[in-house]
């Protein structure tokens, strides 16, 4: 009678290799989230200087910057959406958790896994729909009214931010599901 070993030819356990893949995806996603957040912060700085220049131009020289409102609206998408995954990873989103914080153990992780699943489903729909809208804007050459600035780069920030939020939610759902099943703390995926 032959016994089956839980290890593969390289001597490692296949289930642990799958966990290593999850940790690799987590690290890669964290780097991308941080990079996107930095881009969003750069847009905040650009908007700040742009607004100051608009105010100085309007009130001191009676010469406002043309298309200021349009460009501000386009920058807002990058400012808001590119930091979604980063904020989720850091736990910076505003949430009501007075009741959840009183729950301990597996029920606590079950509620968080369920919450992540529902959020993942909602943002997957947002990601797909916004990517479709971005693609349509690109194909038809959608531009702003005054300066004819293309709108698709700004619209692309929505599916990118939603995608990385979905990735983070999926990783957190895996973490909490693992903690429900195993009953132990998994600390590496935050």
Looking at the structure of the chain, the number of domains it has is 1
Residue 3, in any domain of the structure: no
The answer to whether the CB of 147 falls within 8 A of the CB of 74 is no
Of 11-15, 72-76, 137-141, 151-155, the least confident: 11-15
**Containing structural domain, residue 56:** 14-182
Which bin fits 93, alpha (ψ -120 to 50), beta or left (φ > 0)? Answer: beta
Q: Quick check: is 4 in a domain?
A: no
Q: Does the predicted TM-score (pTM) go above 0.85? A: no
Q: Which pLDDT value is given to residue 67?
A: 86
187: in domain: no
154 neighbors 134 (Cβ within 8 angstroms): no
The pLDDT value given to residue 187: 52
């Amino acid at each position: 009678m032959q016994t089956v070993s839980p290890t593969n030819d390289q001597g490692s356990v296949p289930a642990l290799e799958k966990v290593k893949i999850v940790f690799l995806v987590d690290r890669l996603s964290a780097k991308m989230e941080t990079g996107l957040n930095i881009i969003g912060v750069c847009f905040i700085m650009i908007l700040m200087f742009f607004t100051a220049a608009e105010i100085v131009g309007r009130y001191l020289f009676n010469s406002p910057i043309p298309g200021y409102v349009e460009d501000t609206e386009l920058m807002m998408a990058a400012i808001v959406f590119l930091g979604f995954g980063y904020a989720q990873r850091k736990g910076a989103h505003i949430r009501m958790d007075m009741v959840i914080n009183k729950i301990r153990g597996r029920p606590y992780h079950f509620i968080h896994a369920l919450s992540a699943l529902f959020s993942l489903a909602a943002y997957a729909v947002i990601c797909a729909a916004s990517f479709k809208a971005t693609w349509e804007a690109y194909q038809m050459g959608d531009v702003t009214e005054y300066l004819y600035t293309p709108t698709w780069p700004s619209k692309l920030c929505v599916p990118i931010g939603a995608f990385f939020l979905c990735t983070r939610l999926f990783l957190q759902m895996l973490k909490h599901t693992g903690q429900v099943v195993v009953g132990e703390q998994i600390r590496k995926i935050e």
